[in-house]
Amino acid sequence: MAVEQSQDAAPTTARLAADGVFKVFGAKPEKALEMAAAGVPRDEILRSTGNTVAVRDVSFEVTPGETFVVMGLSGSGKSTLVRCIARLTDVTRGTVTINDRDLTAMNELELREVRRKQMSMVFQHFGLFPHRRVIDNVAYGLEIQGVPREQRHAKALEVLDVVGLGGWGDHYPQQLSGGMQQRVGLGRALAVEPEILFFDEPFSALDPLIRREMQDELLRLQADMHRTIMFITHDFDEAIKLGDRIAIMKDGEFDQIGTALELLANPATDYVREFTEDVSRIKVLTAWHVMKPPAGEAIGATVGVNQPIDEILVVLLAAEDAVGVEDLSGALVGVVDREAVISVLDTES
Amino acid sequence: MTATSTTDLTSLEASWMERYRHWILLAVGVVALQAAFGWVEAFPALLDNTFSDPIDSFGRWQQSARRTHWLFTGLFTPLSTGVGWALDTVESFLLWLPWFILPLGVFLAVARSQSRKVALVAGLAMLYPGLVGLWEVTIDTLALMTIAVFFSVTIGVPMGIWGALRPRAEKIMRPALDAMQTVPAPVYFLPMLMLFGIGRVPATFATVIYALPPVVRLTTLGIREVAGQAVEASEMFGATQRQTMLKVQLPMALPTIMTGVTQTIMMALGIVVLATLLGAGGLGQEIMETLSQRRTGRGIATGLAVVAIAMVLDRIGRATVVTDRASLPSRRTTLIAAGGLVGLTIVGFVTGLTEFPELWDTKVFDPIDDAVVWARDNLSWLTRGFNDIVVGQF
Ligand SMILES: Nc1ncnc2c1ncn2[C@@H]1O[C@H](COP(=O)(O)OP(=O)(O)O)[C@@H](O)[C@H]1O
Ligand SMILES: [Mg+2]
């Protein structure tokens, strides 16, 4: 997703950071917090205090235009983390900053302002408004900001085209399939032109085929928009496909943060290794994972930026030397040579 | 450890409160009334061990205070005047309409979101009271119902919202609402009589109190039930609490709220017959009279009119709960239907067809009266033995 293909929207400059974030559920979290900070296991804290430590000492930074994926199994605290970052729930300890402004210290008015102008969220179960037509769902954020009806509808129509729902504006959400409903959710988030987008398992409720389609759609959109994205998933393949960097979360903590290649090459813990082991590298890694910037070398054939390695292999074997990598609009954005592919094959054991 | 014992204590307190809440509320009510009307002015009679004395003296006091005390001149009397005016207005409007507009309007309102058949039955139910000569008394009752339900909803929905936003408020409200429903309705009648005198106004207020709980409760429930993600989605767009309530929570809770309104309507209709005791008139009075005259057939005819009204209001209530918005008629169709009703109203006045035609009246039910009388006179040999046994036992 690091593909440069800037067309309309200027890349965002929004930088998102979390520093030492803890979230403890239950009354009187102080003692549980101390224990969590001291490294006592989650079960033990729950047993002795009755508090659930959902997020423990999480720090990370998402650079402008980056897609940061948090991957973990159910119950590992992913939703709680993204809700803390978006301040749908308050952190127990730690800070969250957007462009160095402390989100955790904002009052209600400042928070509303930031939410209106800078961030949006896409939800796992869509969170659509069933009583509003699709167009009014998409225009909701603008309506909240007080944008006049005609203007916000014009923008909503534009966004509906972008997410592939042109002509569906007058329908109600229930009349749409699951995949289309999530397109509405996506369009609703995009309509306010946020700099930062949060996704909490947005495609988990969809069929595998539709899920892949939506992932491709997001890749395509992000190639144009360059938003700062925090994306939650429990699907490692999805993480690799979408993430510039991936954090593996377990029991409320980050085990490792790295690019897909880094995780695959050097899993930091046994837990991370469990995920990477089963992954077929040549199927999930694509051209953009392994490509280098073009440096004027002779290029025989070209491949698409999102084509997996196993497809590139065939092209590479037939080609004289390196193959070029084209983005969605056909522009040359990189090259893949034999060494790059061999290094991937090396880690496949 | 301390935490556990505190919870035990509170839950113990709660159950104690729960068990005695009716009595507590009654006591609070009595004290509040006394405070309002002033120990100073009226009765230091609480020390008297008879309960009737203070009430008597209160009755006497309010008779004299009616024209002077600020509670009457500033609150109850204007309130009474206003509600009386609203009742008259609604009633004369409904009677002013050509008779066929109301059944037709019911049909269209129900047909908007339900099947033609259901709508037709509802329309016919609205027609029925007219066919048996009960048109005016039915309109009388309908007017009282309309005003009472209007008040119940305008008071009940905000209370329900408050309960949904403030769990503590809900905790206080819930036992009060329970009490309002479990205390037999005539208990309200006495204070209503004292405050508003006799007539349709106190009947309206008694009805409002009795019918209020369902709409409050279901509003709270409906708002609570709204999917958390929809509310969070709204918050994430920077909506204020008010915006989220008006644009997301209330509209999404509407089906549940309307269920509450339908229940409220049914409760109100149930009490309307009893409210005759307060001088409500209408169908209730008709039933009381036929009962006292032992005219069984006419009683049945009137009872059926109450059932018909219940059905009409229930159908209209249900019809407003639209689950499938896409199947609703277009705005144009709705406008045409409304325009048609207005047009027909004019036609009705031009042709002079405004009053319900005298087709039949309750006399069609006289055969039933005759049958009952005949049975009493001729089947006594059958019933006497049974009668003797029962009477003989006591
Ligand atoms: N509101 C809450 N109150 C108490 N515990 C919660 C709450 N929300 C989540 N938890 C707990 O926090 C842990 C992490 O949950 P969650 O963040 O939903 O995980 P994930 O999204 O990774 O499945 C779980 O053990 C869950 O039971
Ligand atoms: Mg989750």
Q: What is the pLDDT of residue B363?
A: 65
- Token duo for residue B311: 């059905």
For residues A201-215, give the mean pLDDT.
93
Q: What is the pLDDT of residue A349?
A: 58
Q: What is the pLDDT of residue B5?
A: 37
Instruction: Tell whether A182 lies on the interface with B, counting CB pairs under 8 A.
Output: no
CB A91 within 8 A of CB A29: no
Q: What is the pLDDT of residue B393?
A: 58
Chain B partners within 8 Å of A174 (Cβ): 324, 326
Q: Averaging pLDDT over each range in A137-151, A308-322, B290-304, which range is the top one?
A: A137-151
User: Which of A145, A197, A268, A219 lies closest to A14 in space, CA to CA?
Assistant: A197
Q: How far is B87 from chain A (nearest CA, A)?
A: 34
In the sheet that holds A16-25, the strands lie side by side as A52-62, A16-25, A93-98, A101-102
- Token duo for residue A195: 């700099």
Considering only the beta carbons, identify the residue of A113, A117, A127 that sits closest to B233.
Answer: A127
Q: What is the pLDDT along chain B (394 residues), one digit of tens a residue?
A: 333 333 334 444 445 555 566 666 666 665 565 555 544 444 444 444 455 565 666 666 666 666 667 666 667 778 888 888 999 999 999 888 888 889 999 999 998 888 889 999 999 999 998 888 888 889 988 998 889 989 999 999 999 999 999 888 888 888 888 887 777 777 777 777 777 777 888 888 888 888 899 999 999 999 998 888 999 999 999 999 999 999 999 999 998 998 898 888 888 888 877 787 777 788 888 888 887 877 777 788 888 888 898 889 888 888 877 766 777 778 888 888 889 888 888 888 888 777 777 666 666 677 777 777 777 777 777 667 766 766 665 5
For residues A5-17, give the mean pLDDT.
68
Q: Collect all residues with Cβ–Cβ distance below 8 Å to B328 and sequence separation of at least 6.
A: B112, B113, B322
Helix (H, G, I), strand (E, B) or coil at A128: coil
Distances (CA, A) of A34 to A24, A26, A28, A43, A49: 11, 14, 12, 15, 11
Domains of chain A, CATH where assigned: 2-14+59-280 (3.40.50.300), 287-348 (3.10.580.10)
CB B217 within 8 A of CB B231: no
Do you know the residue count of chain A? 349
Is the pTM higher than 0.90? The answer reads no
Q: What is the pLDDT of residue A9?
A: 55
- A202 or B49, greater pLDDT: A202
d(CA B249, CA B230): 8
Do you know the residue count of chain B? 394
d(CA B107, CA B114): 10
Q: What is the pLDDT of residue B4?
A: 37
Choose from A98, A111, A112, A149 for mutation: most chain B CBs within 10 A: A112
- Token duo for residue A28: 């009187």
DSSP A155-208: HHHHHHHHTT-TT-TTS-GGGS-HHHHHHHHHHHHHTT--SEEEEESTTTTS-H
List the residue whose alpha carbon is closest to atom 3 of ligand 1: A25
- Atom number, ligand 1, closest to the C-alpha of residue A52: 5
Q: What is the pLDDT of residue A3?
A: 43
Distances (CA, A) of B174 to B157, B160, B181, B212, B268: 14, 10, 11, 12, 20
Q: What is the pLDDT of residue B180?
A: 79
CB B118 within 8 A of CB B312: no
Helix (H, G, I), strand (E, B) or coil at A14: coil
Distances (CA, A) of A58 to A43, A63, A85, A259: 18, 16, 11, 18
What residues are neighbours of ligand 2 (ion), with CB under 5 Å?
A 79
Distance of CA A90 to the CA centre of its chain: 21
- A152 or A1, greater pLDDT: A152
Q: What is the pLDDT of residue B232?
A: 95
Torsion of Cα atoms, A249 then A254 then A260 then A265, to 10°: -110
List the residue whose alpha carbon is closest to atom 4 of ligand 1: A25
Instruction: Tell whether B4 lies on the interface with A, counting CB pairs under 8 A.
Output: no
- Token duo for residue A234: 């429990």
